[in-house]
A and B are shown apart, each in its own frame.
Chain A
Amino acid sequence: MTAAVFFGCAFIAFGPALALYIFTIATEPLRVIFLIIGAFFWLVSLLFSSLFWFMARTITDNKDGPIQKYLLILGVLVSVLIQEMFRFVYYKLLKKASEGLKTINPDETAPSMRLLAYVSGLGFGIMSGVFAFVNTLSDSLGPGTVGIHGDSPQFFLNSAFMTLVIILLHVFWGIIFFDGCEKKKWSSLLVVLLTHLLVSALTFISPHYGINLVSTYLIMVLMGIWAFFVAGGSCRSLKLCLLCQDKDFLLFNQRSR
């Protein structure tokens, strides 16, 4: 597999996340720290999920057969539950930290919960995407032929697109989740959990990439629109932004129109 595949897939999967990081996070040290802490929380959730799966496997004595497949499915679903649980824990931590920052630092504006929602979502997403895809990427640099045993030759591309959609979904889920927690709308949390379960479940039909990817992207678009409105956007502000007539934004960037 060639360098073109490596770079292409790497940028497909991580390009948007990298752009988001460079333009919105890298400039503020506090955001970088919250991003890394978010990544750490996702990592801990993965650790617990692996522990659960490992214990389940040990209990069933590592027998081969369909039970392994069921255990894996169970592992995936439990992992999704644990991830969302850790998202909630991170929300609680950020809430405390936010309050702490406010009391200590009344003059300086602490990052708002919405911003922290975005940062935490991105942290979760980046870590999740990296863990899912980086081993595959490093294999793509080595020798081999994709799909030689009848698998799809688009394996790398599909994985890259799937990784991208997972990263973006985590960002949107983060925003919606935190907003739900702030406004005590537990239905939002439930929807986030259910869509996460749905996205993971869709990957069970993995050889049929078309359905898998298309439906996941559809869910991503829906989540994106919901997150946009939840974060305070509106059709009007979107129009202004796209036509470069958003005065506040222009003023902020000191451009004249």
Chain B
Amino acid sequence: MEAGIQQRPGLVLSPRCPVAQPRGPLGGVMGRAGLPGKLAGTARSARRCQKLFQALLPPWLPGAAAGRTLRLGQHRGAGGASQGRAMLTFMASDSEEEVCDERTSLMSAESPPPRCCQEARQGLEDRESAAQWRSQDSEEDLDEDADRYMCSGVPGQPSGLEEELTLKYGAKHVIMLFVPVTLCMVVVVATIKSVRFYTEKNGQLIYTPFTEDTPSVGQRLLNSVLNTLIMISVIVAMTIFLVVLYKYRCYKFIHGWLIMSSLMLLFLFTYIYLGEVLKTYNVAMDYPTLFLTVWNFGAVGMVCIHWKGPLVLQQAYLIMISALMALVFIKYLPEWSAWVILGAISVYDLVAVLCPKGPLRMLVETAQERNEPIFPALIYSSAMVWTVGMAKLDPSSQGALQLPYDPEMEDSYDSFGEPSYPEVFEPPLPGYPGDELEEEEERGVKLGLGDFIFYSVLVGKAAATGSGDWNTTLACFVAILIGLCLTLLLLAVFKKALPALPISITFGLIFYFSTDNLVRPFMDTLASHQLYI
């Protein structure tokens, strides 16, 4: 089992999670601490094979849908599941858009599912590592609370420390998520406000076949609700399809889809975007230059996302992909349908993650049974880093202690059996297991790309339709950030996987409609009389 598997602190996952990753206080933190040295060794060679495999077949992460939900702490499972959902959604479509969507979601495949492929090869090693993990798991079960917050390798820490860690690291992780979400929204809003292409109506996706150019309000509302029903049922079908695929181990199929999606997103959508931006600013670019630019952008993106790359670059690509995807949605979803879809997706997210028979939950449970990570595609990770002090000398908890991870020095850590994740995910394995240093632990947080996409869709729509009003956009932005904050807080309180969409989208919708209808006239009137409140 690969080290650095995101941990799944959720109720479903944590006790049985084979990879004892330190879970962040908010659950979303995916610590990589727990890989025992032995495991590292066995995993190392497996990882090297996998690296090669990864290069050829990028991990296919089930759908962006998975990415949609923030499974703080439930990274892998949840992320994969939700991603799968998104992927399924897009897989079913034949249209270019869908493929692109899918690709987009696939693009973020950071933790390659190659793990899964690898597992087939690693059979024995896995069992061995699984056994190690299981012994650790029993330890974990005893100290489940401590385990929640600390890497599995440090079971001995008192729960008070655990709470402290929660708060100590909670704020930092909230900010680690605020920054990329803000950046994505800024990119989307800047594009919407300047490039007119994305606000022009040029047709609709096949998932929203009903038009909104109807004479009556009732008819329009009905059409948007029907559009939403179709879209959501497509998403549900895709998720179930994904779960089925996963259950029957059709990994190659998944991988192929992932790669194709990534390719389309990185090349075609970028080309279109660049073309529109150049048109807006009336800048001429010859085809050779354009080809070179797009090729370089796309190739580096594929490498960064599916293989190795500097963390910052990978994060930047993921943000750009989410922004491109959000722009596509903003362009092709009709107005009322977009709002109803946003609401419905939040409800679906809530149901899929929290209900016992939800597809995402089932996906996660299947992955747990097999002791393999769920496809981690489409997850934004704010890397990791160091950890962890070990409370006691414990061979199984060697993984807890890790050297500070430095992306540039990644290769140098390979000798220590560092997991060969190209992405940030993999923290270097301990070069000195059994050390009793108390190092500062920093765990990364992961957020599904689907969440990025839908947040940006909400803010982008507010910017596009707010009649040139910036107040609405800002209000939605603040509302989404507050929603994310609350979600992270709830995660820390409930210590189980939670979807990231519902609270933020609800706040965003409330603030959009109230600001647009109530606050805007008030502020406009004040501004026209030059009054200040």
Contacts and interface: CB of A to CB of B under 8 A. Distances in A.
Interface of A: 28-30, 32-33, 36-37, 39-40, 43, 46-47, 49-51, 53-54, 72, 75-76, 79-80, 83, 101, 104-105, 107-108, 127-128, 130-132, 134-136, 138, 159, 162, 166, 199-200, 203-204, 206
A134 B531 contact: no
Contacts of A75: 522
A203 B168 contact: no
Given A79-B533, A135-B471, A159-B530, A50 B175 contact: no
Nearest to A151: B530
Contacts, number: 111
B514 interface: yes
Nearest to B518: A50
A18 to B, nearest CB: 15
A130 B478 CA distance: 12
Contacts of B478: 36, 39-40, 43, 127
Interface stretch (B8-16, B364-372, B431-439, B479-487): B479-487
A56 to B, nearest CB: 11
A162 B530 CA distance: 10
Nearest to B161: A107
A46 B511 CA distance: 11
A33 B532 contact: no
A76 B533 contact: yes
A76 B175 contact: no
Provide the main secondary structure of the chain A interface: helix
Given A39-B478, A54-B518, A30 B531 contact: no
B522 A49 contact: yes
B175 A132 contact: no
A82 to B, nearest CB: 9
B470 A101 contact: no
Contacts of B522: 46, 49-50, 53-54, 75
A29 B169 CA distance: 10
A199 to B, nearest CB: 7
B521 A54 contact: yes
B475 A206 contact: no
B485 A37 contact: yes
Contact of A72 (B178, B469, B470, B531): B531
Contact of B485 (A33, A134, A200): A33
B514 A83 contact: no
A37 B174 CA distance: 13
B533 A200 contact: yes
Contacts of A138: 468, 470
A26 B251 CA distance: 44
Interface residues of B, number: 38
A29 B471 contact: no
Given A49-B522, A206-B531, A32 B178 contact: yes
Interface string B155-184: 000000001101110011011001000000
B300 interface: no
A49 B168 contact: no
Contacts of A53: 522
Given A33-B174, A132-B527, A47 B515 contact: yes
B470 A43 contact: no
A135 B523 contact: yes
Contacts of B474: 130-131, 134
A46 B519 CA distance: 7
Contacts of B56: none
Contacts of A132: 523, 526-527, 532-533
A200 B164 contact: no
B485 A101 contact: no
Interface in B497-533: 511, 514-515, 518-519, 521-527, 529-533
25 contacts: A28-B171, A33-B485, A36-B485, A37-B485, A39-B478, A40-B482, A43-B479, A46-B522, A49-B522, A49-B533, A50-B521, A51-B518, A76-B526, A107-B164, A108-B167, A130-B474, A131-B474, A134-B474, A135-B469, A135-B470, A136-B527, A200-B533, A203-B531, A203-B532, A204-B531
Contacts of B533: 46, 49, 76, 79-80, 83, 128, 132, 200
Contact of B482 (A37, A101, A159): A37
Contacts of B518: 47, 50-51, 54
A29 B519 contact: no
Nearest to B473: A134
